[in-house]
Structure 1
């Protein structure tokens, strides 16, 4: 039944406007980061690592979380109009599958976003004259950032469900990203969901900033379970009221 819900959500994504954001928005951090790299070659001498510091600075801190919010908001867009939420809750499927189906569909696009961003990283790397392939740690940081993105997807799916506005959850994700940038330099960075995305991607660093991988993975898993549980619980309460 969950598979059916995921497929239904994927159908919504076909020919939707989110693909414009998907393709165009990552171009901005890729181009800005590579230009910064070229402008500071005297200081940035670690080649692929240096390029990563510049592109991840913009992408992880300002773009990725709002893009996830766009995906989640779009998947709730129809149900947030009028009485469509009540109609949704009359479907003969478990409420948890409705929420998890939307979350899974949004996360699948988030994974594709990571793949697209990494492709742009490779292309811009070659364009600025870097040789070979990116070092293995950068691949790992991308994978780790994808895990953090799963927790953010759960959070944004929850916000998009509770706040029946497309723009407001996206705006909150942008504010959350900025606050995450502030919190990431504190000892409590693992307690703030948006900081996990920055930590996972090792944004603007050429050395791994995550001292405890266990703490990072545990925190990401905790927030994933917490936000998914809250989302399902709130939706069930809505089902009772409907």
Structure 2
């Protein structure tokens, strides 16, 4: 039944333009990558290029997309009594909530894949001679995706609670804007969900570039896991009691 719920979610998106958003962040990051001068960074060209692209992808658009996807998966149910129709089916609220969260994370995984492709493509186009760090790229994509879990859980909670499609997005934008300032704080940055994807992806590069932002990846992942469980449990408890 869980997979059937996910399949029904995919059917909703087939007729929408949400798919176009999967390419927005990688393409804009690629544009910044083309404008990044890596010629004088011998030995660390790939990571220097990555740092420039991450300021667009990880610091800005990845958190924004997390909020957009989370709001989108609840949009149909908020319209015309969709929650009543969905929950009238022989499915549990737990299955419904987790299925929607799974769809959000699938979208983010696809976005991460395209970002790595963009990183590789830009590097090849700029003539970087060193081999592409494929293992590091996979690690960077994975930890960045994992770091989206707390924010996705929080945004799904908010999007489930508010019928307005715009309100959760506005909140997400408001809290994404201070990212560059929060990222400079060694004390507060690891605990700020909107900046965690950027920090984890940058730190997964072993601090080879932008050491000022470097925070041990183990510390970040512990914080990410803890905050994810808090937001997930909070959202589930709310959804279980939500009146439809």
Q: Specify the TM-score bucket, using the shorter chain as the normaliser.
A: 0.7 to 0.9
Contact persistence 1:30–1:121 (CA under 8 A): yes
Residue 207 (structure 1) shift: 5.4
CA root-mean-square deviation: 2.3
Counterpart CA distance in 2 for 1:124 and 1:87 is: 47
**Cα distance, 1:146 vs. partner?**
1.0
Give me the TM-score of the superposition, normalised by structure 2: 0.87
Aligned to 2:2: 2
Which deviates more from structure 2 when the two are superposed, residues 211-220 or residues 123-132?
211-220
- Going from structure 1 to structure 2, the CA distance change for 1:120 and 1:212 (only over 3 Å counts) comes to closer
Work out the CA distance in 1 between the residues paired with 2:89 and 2:180: 41
Contact 2:190–2:223 (8 Å) recurs in 1 = yes
The aligned counterpart of 2:144 is 145
CA distance in 1, matches of 2:160, 2:181: 27
Worse-matched range after superposition: 156-165 or 52-61 = 156-165
- 1:1-242 equivalences under 5 Å are 1-35=1-35, 37-38=36-37, 41-42=39-40, 44-45=41-42, 46-131=44-129, 132-134=131-133, 136-186=135-185, 187-202=187-202, 206=209, 209-238=213-242, 241-242=243-244
Q: Is the 8 A contact 1:100 1:228 kept in 2?
A: no
Change (3 A) 1:201 1:214: closer
Residue 194 of structure 1: SS of its match in structure 2?
coil
- Contact 1:27–1:120 (8 Å) recurs in 2: yes
Which sections of structure 2, spanning at least 5 residues, go unmatched?
Answer: none
- Report the count of equivalent residues: 237
Q: 2 CA distance for matches of 1:118 and 1:173? A: 24
Shift of 1:6: 2.1
Deviation string, structure 1 residues 187-214 (Cα, Å, up to 9, x no partner): 1222211121121111896256554333
8 Å contact kept, 2:71–2:159? yes
Distance in 2 (CA, whole Å) between partners of 1:179 and 1:19 is 27
Residues 25 and 62 of structure 2 are in contact (CA less than 8 Å); yes or no, is this contact kept in structure 1?
no
Q: Confirm or deny: 8 A CA contact 1:183 1:189 kept in the other structure.
A: yes
Structure 1 residue ranges without an equivalent (≥5): none
User: d(CA) in 1 for partners of 2:135 and 2:25?
Assistant: 26
Cα displacement (A) at 1:41: 4.3
Residue aligned with 1:193, SS:
coil
From the superposition, tell whether residues 7 and 210 of structure 1 become closer, same or farther in structure 2 (CA, over 3 Å): farther
Once the two structures are TM-superposed, the CA of residue 117 in structure 1 deviates from its matched residue by 0.9
Measure the CA separation in 2 of the matches of 1:182 and 1:27: 24
Counterpart CA distance in 2 for 1:165 and 1:127 is 43
